[in-house]
């Protein structure tokens, strides 16, 4: 494929990855549309449907490190193409479901695992392998694809399920995903060296690309063992645990029921979450740009500190009705995924470029554990005290602790370099 003289193929790879993450986000958003139709038609209890979704979320997080090792071993293009094809096939089989175990198998196991293979850790893989400058911007844009995918797919899927039925919606989603599989196989490349190129922004002489050898399971655990020796790794992982707890676990799970507790309609809470998604796209992209220019430790500390303040503000926002909550939604959305680019940049400096993808997948597991713990504990606190006040206050304090962790990175002897990469003009 011929490209304009000034366009490095790294940008084509980034664009393809953005589309893949967009499609994956659309598939992952579909269960929220399916819950009520499946309840109404099959009379399956919501707990059963929720269990399938829980399996999906668990596998999406847990499979990441091994998927990253698989990509190291067999390449991005083959792994990405196969995983997306499996996702499309599972979604296409959805209309044939008749028993609840089939839902758990298709949407819990198959979709959860296949989407996990092409999870958000791909942003770190692509940025580390294809870019030497603009890494933060690329990570921010690719991470924001998750928010963009939900914004694009969720309203369309909900409308189609209402007008044409959930089976038609599933088939249409499968067709859209399947249509992109050959395009990804055609345009995706594993490494710049495969095309005789150096990474974007690397003026040094082209070097042969290292290729991982061995069992992907062994590679994943070996990478974790090497990274776990670093104090900075655990500081980064600890702050990322708080990230998962304060976003997906607390706000993503409990904002709507908290709104209902304060007399607001469920649709109002859903609208606030949708607005959070819009502003998370903007915040994540801008944070990526900033992370190429500003000390990433300071960025993380600011993000977690401001997030903590916003969580302390939230209980008062409920008393200010919809307008106070709208302000929270905008502010929290801007901060939602803003921490990802500086987190990945810092981790890359700790573990090295070639291990960044696998180690991002590992801290994503920790992120998901934080989310799961917060989702459960916030529910326990709600039952015990009859309000979410304690959960919001505790999460706010956790965010302040995460800010302190961010500032401590690189201060315990051998650590990361705080100076951002130089960014050439143009």
Q: Which long-range contacts (CB under 8 A, 24 or more apart) does 318-324 make?
A: 318/258, 318/259, 318/262, 322/264, 322/268
Report the DSSP beta bridge partners of residue 200.
131
CATH class of 216-408: mainly alpha
* Domain(s) of CATH 1.20.1250.20: residues in the chain: 9-195, 216-408
Q: Are 128 and 143 in contact (CB under 8 A)?
A: no
Report the DSSP beta bridge partners of residue 228.
none
Lowest-pLDDT range of 1-15, 83-97, 396-410: 1-15
pLDDT tens digits along 197-231: 888 887 665 555 555 556 667 777 888 888 888 99
CA atoms within 13 A of residue 127's CA, in its CB half-sphere? 32
Helix H or strand E encompassing 80: helix 76-93
Report the DSSP beta bridge partners of residue 131.
200
Q: Across residues 384-402, what is the average pLDDT?
A: 95
**pLDDT band, residue 2 (cuts 50/70/90):** low
pLDDT tens digits along 50-109: 788 778 877 888 888 888 878 878 889 999 999 999 999 999 999 999 999 999 999 989
9-195 placed in CATH 3.30.1490.100: no
Report which of residues 28 and 50 the model is more confident about: 28
């Amino acid at each position: 494929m011929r490209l304009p003289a000034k366009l490095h193929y790294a940008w084509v790879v980034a664009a393809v990855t953005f589309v893949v993450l967009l499609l994956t986000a659309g598939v992952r958003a579909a269960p929220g549309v399916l819950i009520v139709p499946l309840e109404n038609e099959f009379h399956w209890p919501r707990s059963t449907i929720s269990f399938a979704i829980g399996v999906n979320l668990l596998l999406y997080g847990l499979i990441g490190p091994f998927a990253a090792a698989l990509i190291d071993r067999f390449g991005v293009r083959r792994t990405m193409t196969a995983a997306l094809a499996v996702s499309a096939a599972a979604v296409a089989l959805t209309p044939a479901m008749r028993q609840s175990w089939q839902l758990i198998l298709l949407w819990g196991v198959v979709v959860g695992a296949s989407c996990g293979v092409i999870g958000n850790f791909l942003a770190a893989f692509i940025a580390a392998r294809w870019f030497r400058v603009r890494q933060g911007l690329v990570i921010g844009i690719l991470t924001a694809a998750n928010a963009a995918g939900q914004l694009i797919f969720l309203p369309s899927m909900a409308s189609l399920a209402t007008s044409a039925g959930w089976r038609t919606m599933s088939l249409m989603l499968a067709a859209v995903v399947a249509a992109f599989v050959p395009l990804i196989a055609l345009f995706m490349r594993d490494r710049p060296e495969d095309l005789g190129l150096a990474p974007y922004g690397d003026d040094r002489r082209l070097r042969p690309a290292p290729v991982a050898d061995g069992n992907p399971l062994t590679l994943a655990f070996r990478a974790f063992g090497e990274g776990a020796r670093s104090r900075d790794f655990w500081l980064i992982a600890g702050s990322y645990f708080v990230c998962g707890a304060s976003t997906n676990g607390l706000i993503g799970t409990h904002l709507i029921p908290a709104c209902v507790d304060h007399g607001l309609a469920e649709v109002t809470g859903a609208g606030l979450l949708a607005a959070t998604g819009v502003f998370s796209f903007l915040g994540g992209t801008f944070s990526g740009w900033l992370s190429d220019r500003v000390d990433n430790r300071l960025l993380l500390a600011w993000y977690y500190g401001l997030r903590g303040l916003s969580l302390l503000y939230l209980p008062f926002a409920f008393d200010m009705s919809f307008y106070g909550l709208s302000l929270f939604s905008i502010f929290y959305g801007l901060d939602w995924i803003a921490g990802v680019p500086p987190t990945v940049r810092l981790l890359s400096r700790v573990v090295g470029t070639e291990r960044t993808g696998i180690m991002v997948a590992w801290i994503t597991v920790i992120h998901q554990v934080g989310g799961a713990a917060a989702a459960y504990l916030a529910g326990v606190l709600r039952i015990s005290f009859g309000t979410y006040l304690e959960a919001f206050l505790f999460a706010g304090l956790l965010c302040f602790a995460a800010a302190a962790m961010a500032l401590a990175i690189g201060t315990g002897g051998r650590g990361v370099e705080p100076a951002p990469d130089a960014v050439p003009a143009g």
